[in-house]
Amino acid sequence: MSAAVVCFETLKDAIDTVIEAIQCGVPLARCEYVCPASIRTLNAYSKLSLREAHSLFFEFHGTAAGVQEQAATVEEIATAHRGQGFEWATRPEDRTRLWTARHNALFALLASRPGGKAIVTDTCVPISRLADSIVGARALLDRAPFPTVIAGHVGDGNFHCGLLIDPNDPSEIALAETLNDEIVRLALSMDGTCTGEHGIGLHKVGYLRQEAGDKGVELMRRVKQALDPDGIFNPGKMF
């Protein structure tokens, strides 16, 4: 196993690196994007000194030769997209340090605004539309007066937007909901899904028919009726 983090000047360069690596058939075990604002909060929270830039976290699995080849290919692709500052980690403790930082992103965000509440939304799009979707989401988030971040599993086209609001400010809550709606509709316009991994649930049930269509929703109802004729399994959550 080997892990690496690489920085980019622009969001598009970072995501184009991911797209090209996948299109070249590199078997990425893990590939995560973290925005500069997230890196800033991580540095403060975890006492790190990562460069505050658009960052990709990679992990490679396989034989020693295979991992070396995968890593070299990704480094070449990233360099072509102006990636810089590669930090490789082959020792378990170094890999753990990198991934612990990534996994602490939500806690770091919360710590950056004591008393704030994080609203986290996720969408997923085809890999070919990933750059357009994330760049578009970032432009929407830039309208917010409160802290916002983007991080996610870009290796499968899925990413999360975090909005850190004052739960006692109705205007911030309303704007966060508006931005969530616009980010979801942007993903749907790119043949994506309103949620990458969190499920439809109560918050996004309103997008189900727009995404799946009338026939898709009717099929889901029939499956639900067949498996749960008494309506006792998580009632009211989707239909």
Q: Where are the domains of the chain?
A: 2-107, 111-218
pLDDT of 129 above 80: yes
> What is residue 95's predicted lDDT score, i.e. its pLDDT?
82
> What is residue 190's predicted lDDT score, i.e. its pLDDT?
95
> What is residue 149's predicted lDDT score, i.e. its pLDDT?
96
CATH of domain 111-218: 3.30.70.2740
Asked whether the domain spanning 111-218 has the same topology as the one spanning 2-107, the reply is yes
Work out the average pLDDT over 104-131.
92
Which residue is it, tokens 């990233």? Answer: 78
For residues 109 and 38, give the distance between their C-alpha atoms in angstroms, rounded to a whole number.
Answer: 7
Which pLDDT band holds residue 101 (cuts at 50, 70, 90)? confident
Do residues 118 and 109 lie in contact, with contact meaning Cβ atoms separated by under 8 Å? yes
% of the chain residues with pLDDT over 90: 72
pLDDT digits (tens, 9 = 90+) for 141-172: 999 999 999 998 888 889 999 999 999 999 99
56-60, 112-116, 197-201: range with lowest mean pLDDT: 197-201
> Which distant-in-sequence residues (6+ apart) come within 8 Å of 177 by Cβ?
none
Mean pLDDT estimate for the chain: 91
Work out the average pLDDT over 96-103.
82
> What is residue 132's predicted lDDT score, i.e. its pLDDT?
93
Grouping H, G, I as helix, E, B as strand and the rest as coil, residue 213 is: helix
Which pLDDT band holds residue 212 (cuts at 50, 70, 90)? very high
% of the chain residues with pLDDT over 70: 100
For residues 223 and 239, give the distance between their C-alpha atoms in angstroms, rounded to a whole number.
Answer: 12
Is it true that domain 2-107 has CATH number 2.160.10.10?
no
pLDDT of 201 above 80: no
> What is residue 140's predicted lDDT score, i.e. its pLDDT?
97
Work out the average pLDDT over 216-238.
92
pLDDT digits (tens, 9 = 90+) for 64-90: 899 989 989 999 999 999 999 888 877
Helix axes 92-103, 36-46, angle to 10 degrees: 110
> What is residue 235's predicted lDDT score, i.e. its pLDDT?
86
pLDDT of 103 above 90: no
Q: How far is CA 101 from CA 46, 104, 107, in A?
A: 7, 5, 10
Which of 125, 101, 114, 122 minimizes the C-alpha distance to 147? 114
